[in-house]
Copies of this chain bind each other. A is one copy, B any other.
Amino acid sequence: MESGFEEKDFLACCGSTKFAKEMALAAPFASLEQAVAAATDIWFNKVDVSAWLQAFSAHPQIGDSAPSSQSHHQTTSAQWSKGEQSTALATATGSSLQELSEWNARYRQKFGFIFIICASGRSTDEILAELKNRYPNRPIVEFEIAAQEQMKVTELRLKKLFTSKAKVSSTSDQ
């Protein structure tokens, strides 16, 4: 059973302070599955819509490099973000990145928050197609889709958190 996760670890998984606080209160978790179940309940049922907006604003714009950061959870989040976008970055061309940047700006202008997508394993073209596909949505519909994508990102990051903790434990057990 894990016992060493703190609020800042959960904040690196999802940039809402309310989410991170609730997760820290719900911890420790017997398994990754239990942590994901708690995170899902907290994210969709407990935290308010301002918490969703706060979490969205913690992401770099897709296709951009991560913002420079100081604190532990921001560094972790930025590194993970870079990893999640590795397929997109490997498949990106100058013109596709330019088009993505323009659509990102248009999206942000309409919805008031950046385009959130679980980018893991997706090419730049796939991400751009999805952005164009979601752009006509009503703001409230898009808000909920973005929250669902954020939850997918959170789940991937919780997995990384548990994996890194397992490594540390097995090292210290030796």
Which residues of A are at the interface with B, using a C-beta cutoff of 8 A? Answer: 44-45, 47-53, 110-113, 138-140, 143-144, 147
Contacts of A143 in B (CB 8 A): 49, 140
**Cβ–Cβ contact B50 & A112, under 8 A:** yes
- Chain B's closest residue to A140 (CB) is B144
| Min distance, Cβ A51 to any Cβ of chain B, angstroms | 8
| Min distance, Cβ A17 to any Cβ of chain B, angstroms | 13
Contacts of A139 in B (CB 8 A): 45, 47-49
Further pairs besides A45-B138, A49-B140: 6, Cβ < 8 Å: A49-B49, A49-B111, A49-B113, A50-B53, A51-B112, A140-B140
Please pick, from B48, B110, B111, B138, the residue contacting A112 in the complex, using a CB distance under 8 A: B48
**Cβ–Cβ contact A49 & B144, under 8 A:** no
- Chain B's closest residue to A143 (CB) is B49
> How far does the alpha carbon of A144 sit from the alpha carbon of B147 in the complex, in Å?
15
**Cβ–Cβ contact A112 & B49, under 8 A:** yes
Contacts of A50 in B (CB 8 A): 53, 112
| Min distance, Cβ A19 to any Cβ of chain B, angstroms | 12
**Cβ–Cβ contact A48 & B138, under 8 A:** no
| Min distance, Cβ A173 to any Cβ of chain B, angstroms | 42
A-B contact pairs, 24 of them (CB 8 A): A44-B138, A44-B140, A45-B138, A45-B139, A47-B139, A48-B110, A48-B111, A48-B113, A48-B139, A49-B49, A49-B53, A49-B111, A49-B112, A49-B113, A49-B139, A49-B143, A50-B53, A50-B112, A51-B112, A52-B140, A140-B140, A140-B143, A140-B144, A140-B147
